[in-house]
Amino acid sequence: MNLKYAITSLRILKISGLYHLMKDWQVSVRIHFIFAAYESGLLKALNQPCDRKTLIKKLEVKRTELLDALLEVGLATKELAVKNEKFFIKGKRSKAILGADGDMLAAVIQASVTYYSDAYRNLTARMHGEELGENLDEIGDIVARFSKITEPIIKEFLASLVRDKSPMTVLDVGCGSGFLLRSIHDINSNANGIGLDTDKAVVEQATNNIITWGLTNQFKIHHGDIYSLSEKNGPFDLISLI
- For residue range 161-197, what is the model confidence (pLDDT) as tens digits? 888 777 789 999 988 888 889 989 988 988 999 999 9
* Residue 190 three-state SS: coil
Span 50-71, average pLDDT: 96
Residue 139: per-residue pLDDT: 67
Q: Which residue has the higher pLDDT, 26 or 37?
A: 37
Q: Residue 70: CB partners within 8 Å, gap ≥ 6?
A: 33, 36, 37, 40, 42
- For residue range 62-99, what is the model confidence (pLDDT) as tens digits? 999 999 999 999 999 999 999 999 999 999 999 999 99
Distance of alpha carbon 242 from alpha carbon 142, whole angstroms: 16
Is the pLDDT reported for residue 219 higher than 80? yes
Query: Residue 43, CB half-sphere, CA atoms under 13 Å: how many?
Result: 21
* Residue 88 three-state SS: strand
Is the pLDDT reported for residue 137 higher than 70? no
* Residue 97 three-state SS: helix
Span 205-224, average pLDDT: 93
- Predicted confidence band of residue 200 (pLDDT cuts 50, 70, 90): confident
* Residue 113 three-state SS: helix
Mean of per-residue pLDDT scores for the chain: 85
Is the pLDDT reported for residue 140 higher than 80? no
Is the pLDDT reported for residue 218 higher than 70? yes
Distance of alpha carbon 183 from alpha carbon 88, whole angstroms: 39
Report residue 25 CA to chain centroid gap: 21
Distance of alpha carbon 102 from alpha carbon 106, whole angstroms: 6
Residue 91: per-residue pLDDT: 95
Task: Please report the domains of the chain, with CATH numbers, ordered by start residue.
Answer: 3-97 (1.10.10.10), 148-240 (3.40.50.150)
Residue 13: per-residue pLDDT: 62
Residue 154: per-residue pLDDT: 76
Q: Which residue has the higher pLDDT, 197 or 12?
A: 197
Residue 135: per-residue pLDDT: 60
Residue 32: per-residue pLDDT: 95
Q: How far, CA to CA in Å, does 195 sit from each of 135, 148, 185, 233, 242? A: 21, 16, 13, 11, 12
Span 216-221, average pLDDT: 94
